[in-house]
Amino acid sequence: MDDEGRMENYLKRLEPTEEVETESAQKRKRERSVVWDGKHLKTAGNTSNLLDHLKRLHPSRMTADKEPMPKTMATFLNKEPFYGSDSNVKKRLDKKVMDMIVKDVRPFSCVHDEGFVELMQEAVPRYKLPSRTYFRDVMLPTEYDLLSLKLRAALEAVKHVGLTTDLWTSAANEGYITITCHFITENFKLTSALLSTAPLMTPTNHNAQNIADSISLMLAKWGLLSKVVTVTTDNDSTMKKACDILEFKHLPCLAHTINLLAQDILKLAAVNVIISKCKRIVTYFKHSTIATAKLKEAQNTNEPLLLIQEVSTRWNSAYAMVKRILQINEYVTLTLLKLRNGPSPITNEELDVLNDLSDLLSPFHEATLSVSTNTKVSVSLIIPVIAEIHHKMNQVKAQLRTQEGKKIYVVVQKRLVERLDSFETHTIPRIATLIDPRFKKDGFLRSSNAEQAAEALELELLSLEPTTPRRPPTPESTLNEASSKFSFLQNKPKVKSTRADATRQFMENENIPDTCDPLKYWEMTADNELKLVAKKFFCVQASSCESERVFSLAGQTISDRRTRLKPEVVDQLLFLNKNRHFN
């Protein structure tokens, strides 16, 4: 075959066949761009000129057989968009997160914690968590302002408030003063509120004038300067002087006073020796996992008890330590005898001293618990509680086992008179006890103080606007058969009243059981002057424990991780946490 024939055959092989390509071949074949369809155009190696040509002369070819491009990444991923800033759902979720930060004392940075972010993405995919600064700088002040309006409305509706206040130093070494407010509502409910936790006006000065100025400024903000009945604080002389400057009546915290008395007892040589031995035993078990494991094993129970560590600033922790040692001393002794290098166990003689000490401290512990509440009337308990301590001391005296216990008893009796008996001469607890239907004149240790209380009550009644006196009935629904908490009231002769009118009738009516609620009694009683007095005096707190509870919460708020929180932020966080019940 000549050269021309070979060229013809070659060209034929290059021509496309009529056979249909397989499906797999079609898939492998690369789709070409629409820009190559149409007439031949000059190009410099890119598609810019060709695309321009198609846009101008063949626009339909640009969109033919093409899927529309996704508008957003959320659409591409088949997800719905985030809630908008105006969405009610987003607003509710923002508030819930803010509530969590406040209630659980969480740092604002928790909204960036990986686990929390993943939880929210799974639970509410459309909710985008705001930043920590949004919650701190926007949500926090907004919630504070809203709650402040509600508290202000509640305070405007009352005529009398009792206050507690105290000073505290934070982990950042900043000084704070806190003020709590307590009042009786129209339906005779005792309500508490935190007004402020802020630095003193002059942070470098803790004198009485600076404290008084700081308190006055805060009370003026809330419109309470003319409504204060009494301020309850610890026994610090500076606090007393600050109240004098403000011309407010001052009531020493009974719990703090009992603490001072108990500390006097714990410092006695006979007591200090055995308390120190107890502390060594407790410390040994706290520092030894082996000793603790053996102590649990010795008790042979599913819920073994452990020893309690004493805290120097809390006398009742020493009492709790002694009680626990007495409770499980048998197992503690068995464990110590099996271990090397352990402290000596408690001897039988020392055990008798500990039993005496426990019996002597028990009434003070119970009294502290009684007056440390802010949900029940406590001011009218002060005088009866002290009378009960005297009564129980007389009972304990006959049961003491050791000479050391009898010596301790003598000191307790002396300190009891020095530290606590003066409360019967305070006007506020006097009147409060007298108008408490559980106690009246029977709640006093000395009848002469009861008569002086009646005179003080008459003066108080004269200062009120005249109302029509009515006989206060005994609300039967408040009575119950619960056991008495005040044994000294049993079989005590009834003190006859020399007063006339409704006061005399109230005094001569049968006392209600001491387990009943005096607020419930007065709520159900017809309006009269005594009811007004009850609403005024029952708001006073027997202890400043509520201020201490605020500082306990503040210690969690200003933790080692959050020492740079601004005082204003601290105040708002604590305010929202302690006043949630006004929402």
Transcribe 266-299 into DSSP letters. HTSHHHHHHHHHHHHHHHHHHH-HHHHHHHHHHH
pLDDT at 13: 55
pLDDT at 199: 92
Give 222's contacts (C-beta < 8 A, 6+ positions apart).
151, 152, 155, 181, 195
| Both tokens assigned to 195 | 């007004």
How far is 212 from 210, CA to CA, in rounded Å? 5
Q: Which residues pair with 366 in a beta bridge?
A: none
pLDDT at 175: 83
Contact 157, 535 (CB under 8 A): no
Q: What is the dihedral of CA 415, 398, 380, 546, to 10 degrees?
A: 60
Residue 247, CB half-sphere, CA atoms under 13 Å: how many? 3
If you search the block for the tokens 């508290």, which residue do you land on? 151
Q: Which stretch of DSSP H or E encloses residue 190?
A: strand 190-198
Exposure letters 503-541 (e unless 16+ CB within 10 A, then b): bebbbeeebbbbebbbbbbbbebeebbbbbbbbbbbbbb
Q: Which stretch of DSSP H or E encloses residue 568?
A: helix 567-578
Angle at 167 between CA 579 and CA 245, to 5 degrees: 100
How far is 218 from 198, CA to CA, in rounded Å? 10
pLDDT at 8: 55
Q: Which amino acid is at 328?
A: I
Per-residue pLDDT of the chain (583 residues; tens, 9 = 90+): 555 555 455 445 545 554 444 545 554 555 555 555 556 666 666 677 767 777 777 776 665 545 555 555 555 455 678 899 899 999 999 999 999 999 998 999 999 999 999 999 999 999 999 999 999 999 999 999 999 999 999 999 999 999 999 998 876 777 899 999 999 999 999 999 999 999 999 888 889 999 999 999 999 999 999 999 999 999 999 999 999 999 999 999 999 999 999 999 999 998 999 999 999 999 999 999 999 999 999 999 999 999 999 987 788 899 999 999 999 999 999 999 999 888 999 999 999 999 999 999 999 999 999 999 889 999 999 999 999 999 999 999 999 999 999 999 999 999 999 999 999 999 999 999 999 999 999 999 999 999 999 999 999 998 876 554 444 444 544 444 445 667 766 656 555 544 446 788 898 899 999 899 999 999 998 878 899 999 999 999 999 999 988 888 877 777 655 657 889 999 999 999 999 999 8
pLDDT at 20: 44
Strand order in the sheet with 161-169: 190-198, 175-184, 161-169, 228-233, 250-252
How far is 300 from 209, CA to CA, in rounded Å? 60
Q: Which amino acid is at 515?
A: T
How far is 295 from 330, CA to CA, in rounded Å? 10
Contact 332, 325 (CB under 8 A): yes
Contact 239, 544 (CB under 8 A): no
Name the pTM for this structure. Answer: 0.80
| Both tokens assigned to 447 | 């009848």
C-alpha 9: how far from its chain's center?
A: 99
Q: List helix spans (H) across 421-528.
A: 427-434, 447-462, 501-508, 518-523
Q: Which stretch of DSSP H or E encloses residue 383?
A: helix 382-397
How far is 454 from 544, CA to CA, in rounded Å? 27
